[in-house]
Amino acid sequence: MKQFFAKLPVGRLARLALFLLLIPALILLGNTYLTQLDTFSYMTLADVKERSDIEMAIVGSSVAEFHFNPEIITEQTGLTAFCATITNLRLPGAIALTEQLFETNSPEWVVLVLEPYTFDMTKEDTQTQMKLAPRLSSPLRRLRYWLDTASQDGETLSRLLLMNSFPMTSMEDVKKAALLRTDRQAALLAAHEATDNTMLYRDGFVRLEEPAIGRALCDGMEREETWYDYQLFDYSKERLLDYKALCEKNGAKLIAVMSPVLSGVALSDPSYLPYMEAACAYLEEIGVPCLNMLYAKPELMANLDHTYVDPHHMHGTGADAMSKAFSRAFNLHAAGEATDHLFYQSDEEYLASLDFITNVWATVRRTEEGWRLKAYSNRGTGVTPQYAYALVHPDGSETTLRSYSKRTVYTLPYDAIGEGDRIRVYARPLDEPDGAVYTDTTELTDTNESTGPEEPISAG
């Protein structure tokens, strides 16, 4: 190679130029063949490239990947559906992924599945980039995706050298990559077995079969008040406009879907509902129809809290219910019929529909009389809470300190608590014993009472 460059008549400048041209090629090869591979995202991108029959492309992060069952949606809409998804995908990745899909497919509809976290963070997850960028077929598309993501956080080098950030570190990584490239079905079967068949892939959809934890997930979701004005970043607005233009250029109709979430998240996360409202308002402003599945009324979709395996993802039964509800609303929209009657039209209507308490917590202050406990709860606006206090002894037995009352404050004398005792705070809707929730306070330390709001978002 050295002798070859030496014989070139163009001199050192030409040799330097040829050397510099090799650098992008080496980076391209390194990122493609030396980075870790994720089985489900690899399968998704491979299917996107090989298929040409997709009529409805469902694009988004894991909330799309786990919640939209293409088999049900295809059956109920008459359109061949596919989930083009990558975990933690945000708008830059959605654009790159959808561009890839348009190379071989001409879907009539693109369903962009969103959540507030799509907008309150503009940075693309580097792991998402690792899963997506090396599978993009166009080097130019990889370059645009890299420039877009690096412009938001300045991590230019780490996002460029994915092989350095996410290298193969074991023979298992090498074997997995080799199997994916030579026998994808065998690799998929191995991935299913590795999860004890609790994660099953088909048509971009990953069906979760883990046990649901339901409202127990809400325990500890305290709410912190903030005066922040929740507005979309200009960057998010620009990317939404770019995405809309991309679909229009390729002759696809675009509809957005706001993903549902565990009720406890909507009640406790101060960013969730405001960002959702801001996103829906902007989508309406730019002419993109939006189905807000969190605000679905019971006649469209029952509350699915009991199907959640974590605060944001449902198991397969919840995904099936979600897919049927989406299909019904989509069919009405596609036929030009109204869907407003199937959805709450504001956060006030949604919060008023929640007739339960998701969780309770208490603040603690040291006073002259003893420990001053003050209870708080996240709940629907139509719920009047009652609180009770008890001591739980080391053997599990309980001593009632105060029966249910609307009063939130209780003062516990210092000498009333024994070694190993912990305080349990109960909450329930007024005179509804079956709706009780509780939390245990194991340590009595002085806390700033301002960490608990006087009236949570859900307070009546």
pLDDT at 437 (0 to 100) = 84
Q: Can you give the pLDDT at residue 99?
A: 96
Q: Give the residue among 33, 128, 145, 142 at the shortest CA–CA distance from 88.
A: 128
The CA distance from 44 to 215, in Å, is 32
Which amino acid is located at 90 in the chain? R
Q: How many CA atoms lie within 13 A of 329 on its CB side?
A: 27
What percent of the residues of the chain are helix, what percent strand, and what percent coil, each to the nearest 5?
45, 20, 35
Q: Whole-angstrom distance between the N-terminal and C-terminal Cα of the chain?
A: 77
Contacts of 106 (CB under 8 A, 6+ apart): 250, 251, 252
- Per DSSP, the three-state class of 255 is strand
pLDDT of residue 308: 92
How many angstroms separate the Cα of 456 from the Cα of each of 17, 269, 428, 449?
63, 11, 15, 14
Of 309, 324, 211, residue with least CA distance to 261: 309
- Both tokens assigned to 228: 């922040």
For 164-213, how does the pLDDT look when each residue is reduced to its tens digit (9 = 90+)? 677 777 888 788 878 878 888 898 898 888 888 888 999 999 998 877 77
* 450: CB partners within 8 A, 6+ apart: none
> Which contacts qualify for 306-309: CB closer than 8 Å, 24 or more apart?
306/212, 306/214, 306/215, 307/212, 307/214, 308/212, 308/213, 308/214, 308/217, 308/262, 309/208, 309/210, 309/211, 309/212, 309/213
Residues in Cβ contact with 102 at an 8 Å cutoff, skipping those fewer than 6 apart: 246, 250, 252
Rg from Cα positions in the chain = 26
Q: Tell me: the pLDDT tens digits for 411-458?
A: 999 888 888 888 899 999 997 877 788 887 655 655 544 444 444 333
Q: Which domains does the chain have, with CATH numbers?
A: 34-350 (3.40.50.1110), 355-451 (2.60.40.10)
Tell me the pLDDT of the chain (460 aa) as tens digits: 555 545 555 556 666 666 556 776 676 676 676 777 788 999 999 999 999 999 999 999 999 999 999 999 999 999 999 999 998 898 999 999 999 999 999 999 999 999 877 766 667 888 888 888 888 988 888 888 888 888 777 777 777 777 767 777 788 878 887 887 888 889 889 888 888 888 899 999 999 887 777 666 776 677 766 555 667 888 889 999 999 999 999 999 999 999 999 998 888 887 788 888 889 999 999 999 999 999 999 999 999 999 999 888 999 999 999 999 999 999 999 999 999 999 999 999 999 999 999 889 888 889 999 989 999 999 999 899 999 999 989 898 999 999 999 999 999 998 888 888 888 999 999 978 777 888 876 556 555 444 444 443 332 2
- Cα–Cα distance, 179 to 188 (Å, whole number): 9
Phi/psi-derived region of residue 11, left when phi > 0, alpha when psi is between -120 and 50, beta in every other case? left
